[in-house]
C-alpha cells in the first residue's frame, strides 16, 4: 500500500522547543537584514546574494539555522559528486506529490549548500513544512544535529579539494560520529552500497536503505576505512549485471545487500519492480543519482511512479547540462570538479570541438595536481581548447596525453567563433562564470 506525505512533521521534531518571543524577534530582524543584503548584492551585480543573505542572518542570530529547521520534515543529500542533481531529483519528486501544495516545500535549488546557503534558502520560505536540502560534506554533522533530518542520502566520497576538505576519511568519520550521536532520533540513511567509506560511515545509523548504484569509479577506495587492510573486488559480472562486489581482506566490512539496484540503465526496487527512469539529463551516473533519490522519496511517502514523473521534469539542475549562447557559439555546460567527475563528464562531451575550462580558486581547490589522474587521452583526434586561469597547467597535461589543443586563457575568447555546437567541461568557478555569461 502506498502512503502519502504527512500533513505534519513527525513527532521527533515536535520535541524541539520553539524559540521564545525574543528569539522570534531576533530571527525576524536577522532575516530582514539578510534579505536587504541579498538585494544589495544583486543590484551590485555580485551574484544571487544567497550566501551573503545567510551570512548576515547568522551573524545577527547565530541560532538562525536551528530555528529555521525546527518543525520541518528534513531530507538531506550529500556526497562529493552528484548532490546537486540528486537533490533536484528528490525535490521534484516531493513537489510532484504535493501538487497544488508545492509551496510547502523549500529547496536550496541554487546549490548554496554550506550553513549560510541553507539558512538563506529556509528563510525565503519560512512557512514550508518540508525541506529538501543539498548539504556540503563539511556541514552534514551540524545539520544532522540541528535539524534532526528524517532522511539522509549519502552518495559517494572522492578526492576533492584536499586543501579545503583534507582527507576524505575525516569527513566520513564525522558523519559516522554524528549518526551514532543521533541514535534513535537520527535519520534513515539512504546509502550507496558500492562505496566502502560510505558504508563505514553509515554503519552507526539507526536504519540504512542500501542502493547498489553500479559505480564504476573505484580509484578512491583501495583501503578499508575500518582497519586499513586492502579491499578486494570480485570479478565483474559480464552477463548484464553490475561490477564486482567488494569486501575487506582484514575485517568484517563488506558490501551490503542492496534494496534498490541500478541494472542496465534501469532501477530495480525492493519488490523487484523494474523502473525505466527516462530522465532528461544525460549519463549513467544520473540513473544512479535517481535511484538514490527514488529510495529517499519512497521513505518520504512518495510513490515510485509519482517520484519518477517528477524527476523527469529536471533538465538543467543549477545549470548542469544547460545549453546557452556565448559569443555566437552554442555551448552545452558540463561540470567536473575532480577525477571522478571528469571520468563521468568526458564521455558525455561528444562535440567535435571540446572546451575545457580550469581554475584553482577556493571553490575549485587550489591544488590542480588531480589533472594527472584524468584520462584526457580519450580526446585525441578532436579539437580541444584549454581555457581558464590554469589553462597552461592543463596544456602541459594535454601535451603528455598526445592531445592537440589551443590554449586560450580568456573564457569569452575560447568560446567565440565556433560554427558548430561545443561541449564545455568546466571546474566550479569557470562553470559559474559561464552560466552568468550565458544567462543560465
Per-domain residue ranges of the chain: 11-19+63-317, 322-438
**CA-wise closest residue to 108 among 80, 136, 81, 127:** 136
Lowest pLDDT segment from 10-19, 48-57, 189-198: 10-19
| CA separation for the pair 294, 303 (Å, rounded) | 9
Tens-digit pLDDT profile for residues 76-107:
999 999 999 999 999 999 999 999 999 999 99
Kindly compute the dihedral angle of the four CA atoms of residues 152, 158, 160, 164, in this order, to the nearest 10 degrees: 50
Say yes or no to pLDDT of 4 above 60: no
Say which residue, 93 or 340, is predicted with more confidence: 93
Say which residue, 398 or 12, is predicted with more confidence: 398
Rounded to 10 deg, the angle between the 83-98 and 304-311 helix axes is: 120
Say yes or no to pLDDT of 314 above 70: yes
What CATH architecture does domain 322-438 belong to?
Answer: Alpha-Beta Complex (3.90)
| CA separation for the pair 416, 414 (Å, rounded) | 6
pLDDT score, position 170: 87
Examine the residue annotation and report whether 264 is marked as an active-site residue of this protein.
no
Q: Can you tell me which residue has the cell 542496465?
A: 264
pLDDT score, position 149: 97
Grid cell digits, residue 117: 546557503
Under 8 Å between Cβ of 357 and 414: yes
pLDDT score, position 244: 65
pLDDT score, position 237: 52
Give me the chain's average pLDDT, please. Answer: 90
User: Exactly one of 101, 237, 264, 367 is catalytic; which is it?
Assistant: 367
| Residue list for the binding site for Zn(2+) | 224, 227, 248, 251
CATH 3.40.1190.10 fits 11-19+63-317, yes or no: yes
pLDDT score, position 324: 93
Q: What region, left, alpha or beta, does residue 419 occupy, with left being phi > 0 and alpha being psi -120 to 50 degrees? A: alpha
Neighbouring CB atoms inside 10 A of 408's CB total 17
Buried b (16+ CB within 10 A) or exposed e, 19-39: beeebeebbeebbebbbebbe
**At 3, is the pLDDT very low, low, confident or very high (cuts 50, 70, 90)?**
very low
Say yes or no to pLDDT of 161 above 80: no
Say yes or no to pLDDT of 346 above 80: yes
Under 8 Å between Cβ of 366 and 163: yes
pLDDT score, position 23: 86
Amino acid at each position: 500500500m502506498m502512503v502519502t506525505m504527512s500533513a505534519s512533521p513527525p513527532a521527533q521534531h515536535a520535541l524541539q522547543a520553539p524559540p521564545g518571543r525574543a528569539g522570534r524577534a531576533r530571527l525576524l530582524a536577522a532575516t530582514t537584514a539578510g534579505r536587504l543584503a541579498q538585494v544589495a548584492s544583486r543590484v551590485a551585480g555580485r551574484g544571487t546574494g544567497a550566501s551573503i543573505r545567510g551570512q548576515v542572518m547568522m551573524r545577527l542570530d547565530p541560532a538562525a539555522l536551528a530555528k529555521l529547521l525546527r518543525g520541518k520534515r528534513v531530507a538531506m543529500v550529500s556526497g562529493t559528486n552528484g548532490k546537486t542533481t540528486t537533490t533536484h531529483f528528490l525535490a521534484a519528486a516531493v513537489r510532484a506529490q504535493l501538487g497544488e501544495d508545492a509551496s510547502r516545500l523549500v529547496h536550496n535549488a541554487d546549490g548554496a549548500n554550506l550553513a549560510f546557503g541553507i539558512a538563506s534558502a529556509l528563510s525565503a520560505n519560512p512557512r514550508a513544512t518540508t525541506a529538501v536540502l543539498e548539504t556540503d560534506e563539511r556541514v552534514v554533522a551540524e545539520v544532522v544535529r540541528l535539524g534532526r533530518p528524517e532522511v539522509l542520502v549519502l552518495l559517494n566520497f572522492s578526492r576533492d579539494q584536499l586543501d579545503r576538505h583534507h582527507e576524505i576519511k575525516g569527513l566520513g568519520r564525522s558523519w559516522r560520529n554524528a549518526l551514532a550521536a543521533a541514535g534513535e532520533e537520527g535519520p534513515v540513511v539512504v546509502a550507496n552500497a558500492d562505496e566502502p567509506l560510505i558504508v563505514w560511515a553509515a554503519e552507526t545509523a539507526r536504519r540504512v536503505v542500501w542502493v547498489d548504484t553500479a559505480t564504476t569509479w573505484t580509484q578512491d577506495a583501495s583501503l578499508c576505512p575500518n582497519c586499513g587492510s586492502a579491499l578486494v573486488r570480485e570479478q565483474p559480472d559480464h552477463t548484464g549485471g553490475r561490477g564486482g562486489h567488494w569486501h575487506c581482506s582484514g575485517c568484517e566490512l563488506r558490501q551490503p545487500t542492496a534494496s534498490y539496484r541500478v541494472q542496465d540503465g534501469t532501477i530495480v526496487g525492493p519488490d523487484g519492480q523494474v523502473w525505466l527512469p527516462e530522465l532528461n539529463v544525460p549519463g549513467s551516473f544520473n540513473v544512479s543519482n535517481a535511484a538514490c533519490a527514488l529510495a529517499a522519496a519512497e521513505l518520504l511517502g512518495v510513490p515510485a511512479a509519482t517520484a519518477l514523473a517528477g524527476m523527469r521534469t529536471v533538465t538543467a539542475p543549477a545549470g548542469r547540462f544547460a545549453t546557452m549562447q556565448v559569443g555566437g557559439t552554442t555551448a552545452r555546460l558540463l561540470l567536473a570538479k575532480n577525477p571522478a567527475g571528469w571520468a563521468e563528464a568526458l564521455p558525455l562531451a561528444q562535440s567535435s570541438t571540446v572546451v575545457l575550462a580550469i581554475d584553482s580558486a577556493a571553490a575549485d581547490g587550489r591544488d590542480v595536481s588531480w589533472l594527472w589522474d584524468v584520462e584526457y587521452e580519450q580526446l585525441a583526434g578532436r579539437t580541444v581548447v584549454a581555457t581558464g586561469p590554469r589553462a597552461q597547467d592543463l596544456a602541459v597535461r594535454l601535451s603528455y596525453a598526445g592531445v592537440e589543443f589551443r590554449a586560450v586563457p580568456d573564457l569569452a575568447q575560447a568560446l567565440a567563433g565556433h560554427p558548430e555546437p561545443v561541449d564545455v567541461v568546466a571546474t566550479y568557478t569557470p562553470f559559474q562564470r559561464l552560466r552568468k555569461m550565458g544567462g543560465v
